[in-house]
Structure formats: structure tokens, C-alpha cells
Copies of this chain bind each other. A is one copy, B any other.
Amino acid sequence: MPATVKPADAEEARPRARGRPRSLTSRDAILKAARELMDQLGPAGVTMEAVAARAGVGKPTVYRWWPDRHAVAMAALMEAQPSDQPAAIAKRTRTLQAALAQQMQDIADTFGSPRGRSVASMIAASDPNTELSKAFRNHFVLARREEGRGLLQEALQRGELREGLDLDVTLDLLYGPLFFRLLLGHAPLDAAFVKQLLGQVLLGLRSGDGN
């Protein structure tokens, strides 16, 4: 799913806007420049002037695509990491616990990187009410949570989990602690933690009731 501000590509009419079409080349150059600045200087380095200069583009062209520097940075990060296959590959080959463990470790690795830190800091710094901010959170965090929902539902169908489980609470029980440690950094985020976390959560999912 593209990171543009106006996807709007419902296949209907869309009367082939008048005038010169926007240059996708410019758009890509802008996002590439933003990504490089993000990696080299962090989120604060993604200034409109630096992005435009590095992309070989006029500042107004950047503003034609995105309304401000936060939007450019978010679009660059979203385009950089498609949020795709990694877990999907592993999905079917393991047990629920193994699949979740792998995905969570993958998330930890991703967010442990400098670019991941940038993502985290932008999630919290941006106005949470804008559409772009929601899309960004969805892209980087909630999409992973939805992968987990898929894994849980399969396990549910296999009868490995008890009926009547509140999936949303369970998902937060899995991913909440993960991002909590990522953001706070008060304790290590290693394989042992993931194992313990999964163990405690899954224990409560197998039998009995959680009330």
C-alpha cells in the first residue's frame, strides 16, 4: 500500500487531472533523500531544506506532496519498510509459540535499529489525530499486531486455545510488553524475555477462564 497522502486510486473516473502530472521521479528522490538523512542524522535531520537539496528538487515540490516535515519523514519510513512477508513466511511452518517468538524477535530487531528508534520517536511525537499519523502507527505497529491475530485465530481453529478468548486483550498482552521495553528501555529485550513473555501469556490461553 503506497505511502502517498492521496492514494484515492479508486478505479472509477478520476478525470485525469489537468496540467502536468506530478513527477514520480521527484517523489522518489525526495523519499530517498529523507531516508538517507534519517539514517545519518536522525529524525531531527530531516529538514525540508536538506531533503530538497539532497533530492535535487525545489522546496515547493516537496510541499506539493506532503504538508510538512513530519509527513515527509513518515512517508519515507513507510516506503522504506513495506511491512510484509517476514512473519508471513514463518507463519505456517511452526507452532504458535515458535511463530510468535520469531515475529516478536523480528520486531525487536527492527525497532532496535537506529531507523526503528526513529520510527518509535515519530510515533510518539506526531499529532495522534491526523490521518497520516494513524496510518504510520498502523503500518509499523498495528499491522504486526494483526499478524499476531492471524496466528491466534489459526490456533483457535486447531483447538489449541480455549473458546471465548478476547483476542484484542490477548494481542495487547503480547505486543504491549514488547513495545513497552522497546520504548522505556528499562530491561533487556532478549530471547529470554520473549520466551518468558510468551510462556506466561499462552499459559492463560489454554484452559480455564481469565475472569
| CA–CA, A200 and B177, complex, Å | 14
Q: Whose C-beta in chain B lies nearest to the C-beta of A43?
A: B125
Q: Known contacts A196-B210, A208-B203; is A177 also within 8 Å of B172 by CB?
A: yes
Q: Which residues of B contact A181 (CB under 8 A)?
A: 172, 176
Q: Whose C-beta in chain B lies nearest to the C-beta of A173?
A: B177
Quick check: which of A6-14, A78-86, A163-171 contacts chain B, the rest being far away?
A163-171
| CA–CA, A166 and B166, complex, Å | 24
Residues from 145 to 175 in A contacting B, C-beta threshold 8 Å? 145, 166, 168-170, 172-173, 175
Q: Whose C-beta in chain B lies nearest to the C-beta of A194?
A: B169
Residues from 91 to 134 in A contacting B, C-beta threshold 8 Å? 117, 120-121, 123-125, 128
| CA–CA, A186 and B176, complex, Å | 12
**Does the CB pair B128–A125 fall under 8 Å?**
no
Kindly provide the distance from the CB of A137 to the nearest chain B CB, expressed in whole angstroms: 6
Q: Which 6 A-B pairs have the closest CB atoms?
A: A124-B124, A176-B177, A176-B180, A176-B176, A172-B177, A125-B125
Can you report 19 residue pairs joining A to B where beta carbons are below 8 Å apart?
Answer: A121-B125, A123-B183, A124-B125, A124-B183, A137-B186, A169-B197, A169-B200, A172-B176, A172-B177, A172-B187, A173-B173, A176-B179, A176-B180, A177-B177, A199-B210, A199-B211, A200-B204, A203-B208, A203-B210
